[in-house]
Amino acid sequence: MKLSSKGELFIGGVKIVSFDKMDFNCYAPFHLNLGCGNKHIKGFYNIDTNADVLPDHVHDVSDISFIHEIFPSAEITEIVAYDIIEHFDRFQVPAVLKNWYDHLVPGGILRIRTNDLERMIMLYATQPNVFPAEKFIWHLMSEHEKPGMGHKWCFTRGTMFGYLKDAGFTKITVTPTEEVERGNYPHSFTECDRCNMHLTAVKV
């Protein structure tokens, strides 16, 4: 790890981030936005594998131990993981959630938004004019023609609760869609919210 005279951090010869663009006060305690895409959250450390979306850090978010290489004293109190867990293979999901759990401080919060298979089926069955087959398939699979954008798995609330409990979380809640639409779920800002589940898991 090397910090240049220009305030740029290099790990293994690769420039990770430029510190002159950072406000360190935003990151203590640490709030992470994993797989941020273009949805940067002010006051969060925004991470994505795609450098084109100009995240604070370019990195695979399946293992966030690298945070402590850059900020050794970081205490991660909140992780936002919106529209990202479905991009991992099913066999990866338990390890990814366990890694995020391990790096949260006690009392830390994980917020997950992902496709809700049962809700999508309900919308397709009861509102086909609003949620036709093509839209159902798009939300289920996403855009495989774009690298990294295709969905590899889908969840029900039951399966997601199971994965979170296996990772170590014991306090897990779901915010109803109606509450999300009223703006009562943090940082939720897409038209896809009606076919998603919104979960909050706390490390006790």
Helices marked H in the chain? 67-70, 93-103, 117-126, 133-141, 157-167, 177-181
Number of domains in the chain: 1
Task: Report if residue 17 sits inside a domain.
Answer: no
CATH of the domain at 113: 3.40.50.150
pLDDT score for 65: 96
Task: Report if residue 40 sits inside a domain.
Answer: yes
Q: Cis (ω within 30 of 0) for the bond into 128?
A: no
Q: What pTM was computed for the model?
A: 0.83
Range with the largest mean pLDDT of 9-13, 73-77, 137-141: 73-77
Domain of residue 47 covers 23-202
114-126 pLDDT, tens per residue? 999 999 999 999 9
